[in-house]
Amino acid sequence: MKQHETDEPRQSRAASDVRDGWDVNETNRARAHDDRLCMMFDLSGHTALVTGAGKGMGVGMARGLVTQGAAVIVNDLDPALAEERVKELVDFGGSAVAAAFDVTDLAAVQEGVAMASELLGSRVDILVNNAGIPKSAVSVTPFLDIAREDWAPYIDLNLYGSLHCIKVMAPGMVEQGWGRIVQISSGAGRVGLSIGQALYGASKSGIEGFIRHLSQELGPHGVTANALALGLMENVEIRNRELLRPLVAAIPNRRLGSLADVGAAVAFLASPEAGHLNGQTINLNGGATTN
């Protein structure tokens, strides 16, 4: 069901409208203060699909896009989570619809995107492939301890899931001569680690390689394709917080990445101003690794 944009002016919202550091009132005040900034990175009139946006970093990505004016299709396997995120975005004055489908199912992607696009009355021209942790995935485990039947979920989601979404959305972008594909990747796809991330890292390395080739095919049509490799973020699942301290201490910025950090990065890559950035993998990691 479509969630309609509220008629209530954004500036009239209560000062308590702050969630996870996202203060839309403050964002609007900054925009009003500098009209030139407001003109940059404007995504009004654009429609984005963010996969895996029901929780985690995908929430920050959806927020960043909505803040810049894009309509957002919130995808998640869990319909309740997708609807919850949509309600939040609409409450903040955005335009959003929920689309619960499994990106590893090509037919489901085609059907889900078609229905959501019809509700919004616009075609997707910004794709953010964020879904990356399989529901059936084993926890961080050394490769030699992972059974053969447990290999597929990582490849199915991080490689085929992204390919499905690109296959469905890219033709429309090419047809209209404009589009943005933002592939969320990981530092595990670029750096060897000894913490049981081999399969996950391999799947991310694979999709990064694909994005580089795709950028060469789609660039002449006004469509860019880039990867954003995330480092340690606030959604990191380490039960013993003491184990996290030395990891954070090794980051030059001395903190984990936030929802706001990833939202801003995705909004930039999706913007018209990023039109000459194509085929790149950008690290968002506080300087933990450098190119």
- Going along the chain from its start, the domains and CATH numbers come out as 24-284 (3.40.50.720)
With CA atoms as reference, report the closest residue to 258 among 6, 57, 112: 57
Cα separation, 261 vs 143, in Å, equals: 31
pLDDT value, residue 2: 44
Percent helix, strand and coil across the chain, each rounded to 5?
Answer: 50, 15, 35
pLDDT value, residue 6: 41
pLDDT of the chain along its 291 residues, tens only? 444 444 443 343 444 455 666 666 655 555 554 555 557 899 999 999 999 999 999 999 999 999 999 999 999 999 999 999 999 999 999 999 999 999 999 999 999 999 999 999 999 999 999 998 887 666 678 889 989 988 899 999 999 999 999 999 999 999 999 999 999 998 777 888 777 778 888 899 999 999 999 999 999 999 999 999 998 888 766 555 677 788 888 888 898 889 999 999 999 999 999 999 999 999 998 888 888
Give CA angle at 283 (59, 109), nearest 5°: 45
Residues 6+ apart with CB under 8 A from 186: 132, 200, 201, 204, 229, 230
Q: How many CB atoms lie within 10 A of CB 212?
A: 16
Q: Annotated active-site positions, please? A: 200
91 touches 14 (CB < 8 A):
no
Q: Are strands 126-129 and 22-23 parallel, antiparallel or unpaired?
A: unpaired
State the DSSP code for 197.
-
Structure tokens at 15: 């000062």
Residue count of the chain, please give it. 291
Amino acid 276 reads H
Question: The whole model's pTM is what?
Answer: 0.85
pLDDT value, residue 25: 62
